[in-house]
Structure 1
Amino acid sequence: MRCDPAFAAVREAFTKVVEAGPGGAALAVHAGGRLVVDVWHGTADEAGVRPWERDTVVNVFSVSKGVVATLAHLFVQQGLVDLEAPVSAYWPEFTAGATVADLLSHRAGLPAVRRELPAGALFDWRTMTEALAAERPWWTPGERHGYHAVTFGWLTGEVLRRVSGRRVRDLVRDELKIPGLSIGLPERDAGRAAFLLPPEPGPPPSPSPLLRAMTDPESVTMKAFCNPAEQLTPGLPNTQAWRAAEIPAANGHASARALATLYGRLLAGEILDAPVLARAVEPRSEGPDEVLLSPTRFGLGYMLSNETRPLAPNPRAFGHSGSGGALAFADPDAGVALAYTPSRMLLTPAGPDPRWTPLIEALYGLP
């Protein structure tokens, strides 16, 4: 493990967070061009016996979107993709009048497919991309935004595949070249994966527009999270079927070290040139979200700090959170990048995961 003495309070806060419940987690911080915190604690298996180790990875859900966004902007930098070009310029079968920028900023109007998708669709790239290419947008592309919770990865990923001829998982491996970061997880590496513990029972959540929408089988919100139906499978992220699939918006696997390294390199200009990154993190979507039914804020693929998911104290922070509590972000004003990868899931429909607060307070020296 590694912890620069100047960040001892961060390590102490992390240890207390992990010891407050079952499971384990890892935390990493990049600052000043180097990894200053790289710690882990707790256990990585369902029984609470196998210790979390240096190379343990965990499914980080939507934190994966920041990885896919980085690839997209790398293609922009290389002149392979034009953000303002219509998607159909790269993917002729695509019928919605959306631009590449619309895909990245959750403005394409394709967060869900209306018709019931066949069994196994979640794990079948061709089925999902063909369905999305033919789908009628839920709103006029570019006019509004709504979180493309799972479709983001297939939509953006298919553009990257059409341009490069390579799968997203291969692009992550070959272009980013960060050990401990992958889309899906090869079966040979299954022993490195932490078991995701389901949320512990608690009081029923307070009524909200999101929960009410989830009771309407025809709502865009319900369709986004429940079609394909496999998304409702208990324990899905712990299955080999999930790990073997290519679901770039949701089944990224990573160590905290890998994610902090990614965002640290973005801050250092080692992956994207400064003008490219500046354009990528400029706010593109702000305000009411058609899917989550609460205010959200996005750049081009990166989540920006907002009241639904505050990332860091500084408003220019960018990155992504993930269902269950994973978090990775970079703060250009503070010059830091942080990644937190837990195995114990918590569900927080709005606001920060309560485990983030002591970590961020310690990092920023907040009272």
Structure 2
Amino acid sequence: MDVQGGVAAGYEPVRDAFVRNFTERGDRGAAVAVYRDGRKVVDLWGGLRDADGGPGSAPWEEDTAQVLRSGTKGAAAAVPLLLHQRGLLDLDAPVGTYWPEFKAGGKERALVRHLLSHQAGVPALDTPLTPAQAEDGHSGPRAVAEQSARWEPGTDHGYHAQTFSWLLGELVRRVTGRTLGRWFAEEVAGPLGLDLWIGLPPELTHRVGRVAAVTPPPPAAGALKLRPRRTVTAAYADPDSLTRRAFGAIDPLPDENDPGFRAAELPASNGIATARGLARFYAATIGETEGAGRLFAPATTALARTEEAAGPDRVLVVNTRFGPGYMLHGPASPLYSPASYGHPGRGGSLGFADPEAGLGFGYVTNSHAGSVTADPRAQALIAALRTVA
């Protein structure tokens, strides 16, 4: 397997694991990057730019970017946290303080922090949106504002797989007058020099590879074994389950290879990044990075890793742990250590920070497998990273 890029001395196990992702775990095109204490120590890419390409297809290049799916949520969550850091948003204020229409349907007591930690009680919609409605910037916020809560906000949690887009997007618009994607571009990605977008500029369409579903090969003898996902797969297969309705709040699901989808702003699902951009983003949440300052103040870094909700997840079925906007390390979403916070994307992508280890990590792939939170390819890279002194 021809892998491009390089690693700092001592990080060769990560390169070896990345190669095995292609030879043993079904990757077709992917990249991984790691920052440690603000310095880039891993920057690798390989395979084909398009997952559905055949012989002669273009190779994955240094600046190839990819759809993150729910890996977008971690980048999007930085916006309300930065607004809080700047004194513009109170996490303990009712959402209705900023967005009066949201108080309908038993959501009067929903706090801003409940939106971030998947406790708002609106993981699904009674009537799913079409892709066009999901992307128009108006129908989604109106639908979640009108939707009745499925539980008293703050008393339980369930993954807001799609509705997270409209909850955070409208909150940010009400507070700043800007869309979340625009705010992120102007206040985060631009200053840090990130190849990371929530709403891809049309002139950059050529940089994004095509995604496709893949069936990974069976694990080799002695391969890393992950804890089974219990009944989440069965729950997703049941059209009447909350799991299926949460992921199906857009019906049919958008075509992720469509330029219109990629240009829209869906903070839950359609962010696009290079692995380098994703890793650099997370590195900046914990400290200074090469050529750029720190994004989060120390208090905000501490907030990002603070547990807000834990236990049985009404949507993902397994036990999950959430901070304000970020998944936290645990059996359902193993990261580097208990200090880590970040977000996976269904099918493969993963970004996280670990403030104790000084790590910013990013992995992106065009080959979407059936994993929800703990993809074997990302987990193999993390396992290799743990062997590095």
- TM-score interval for Structure 1 and Structure 2 normalised by the shorter chain: over 0.9
- 1:10 equivalent in alignment to 2:32: no
Residue in 2 that maps onto 1:82: 90
In structure 1, the residue matched to 2:224 is: none
**8 A contact 1:264–1:336 mirrored in 2:** yes
Is residue 2:350 matched to residue 1:327? yes
Task: Please point out which of 207, 220, 224 is paired with 2:246.
Answer: 224
Q: CA deviation at 1:72?
A: 1.1
Amino acid at match of 1:117: L
The answer as to 2:232 corresponding to 1:210 is yes
Runs of 5+ consecutive residues of structure 1 not aligned to the other structure: none
**For the residues of structure 2 that align with 1:238 and 1:341, how far apart are their CA atoms?**
15
2: distance between equivalents of 1:92 and 1:86? 9
5+ long unaligned stretches in structure 2: 219-227, 289-293
User: Within 2, Cα distance between the matches of 1:15 and 1:202?
Assistant: 15
Root mean square deviation of aligned Cα: 2.1
Instruction: Report the CA distance shift for 1:218/1:197 in structure 2 as closer, same or farther (over 3 A).
Output: closer
Aligned length, in residue pairs: 360
Query: Aligned pair in 2 of structure 1 residues 121, 202: CA closer, same or farther (>3 Å)?
Result: farther
2:196 to 181, 186, 192: 181
- Aligned AA (1:167): T
Shift of 1:342: 1.1
Identity %: 40
Aligned to 2:49: 44
Question: In 2, distance between residues paired with 1:303 and 1:75?
Answer: 20
**What is the Cα deviation at residue 197 of structure 1?**
2.1
3-state SS of paired residue (1:221):
helix
Deviations, residues 51-94 of structure 1 (Å, cap 9, x unaligned)? 11111100011111111111111000111100000111111111
Alignment of 1:60 onto 2:71: no
- Please give the per-residue CA displacement for 1:119-151, whole angstroms capped at 9, x wherever unaligned: 622222200100101110010000000000111
Q: Give SS of 1:130's match.
A: helix
Instruction: Say if 2:384 is the partner of 1:362.
Output: yes
CA distance in 2, matches of 1:258, 1:274: 21
Who is 2:317 aligned against? 293
Aligned equivalents of 2:212 and 2:334: distance in 1?
Answer: 24
Q: Does 1:255 align with 2:274?
A: yes
How far off is 1:253 after superposition? 0.1
Alignment of 1:1-367 (within 5 A): 1-20=5-24, 21=26, 23-45=28-50, 46-48=52-54, 49-95=57-103, 96-97=107-108, 98-117=110-129, 120-176=132-188, 177=190, 178-200=193-215, 209-231=231-253, 236-268=255-287, 270-312=294-336, 314-349=337-372, 352-365=374-387
Question: Is the 8 Å Cα contact of residues 255 and 341 (structure 1) preserved in structure 2?
Answer: yes
CA displacement at 1:307 relative to structure 2: 1.0
* Distance in structure 1 (CA, Å) of the matches to 2:130 and 2:60: 37
Q: When the two structures are superposed, what TM-score results if normalisation uses the length of structure 1?
A: 0.92
Structure 1 CA distance, aligned partners of 2:18 and 2:230?
31
Structure 1's 244 and 283: CA in aligned 2 closer, same or farther, altered over 3 A?
A: same
Aligned letter for 2:269? Answer: A
- Once residues 87 and 63 of structure 2 are traced to their aligned partners in structure 1, the CA distance between those partners, rounded to angstroms, is 35
Residue 212 of structure 1, CA deviation: 4.0
Query: C-alpha separation between the residues in 2 aligned to 1:68 and 1:296?
Result: 19
Distance 1:128 1:209 in 2: 29
Are residues 118 and 249 of structure 1, via their aligned partners in 2, closer, same or farther at CA, if it must alter by over 3 Å?
A: closer
Secondary structure (helix, strand or coil) at the match of 1:5 reads coil
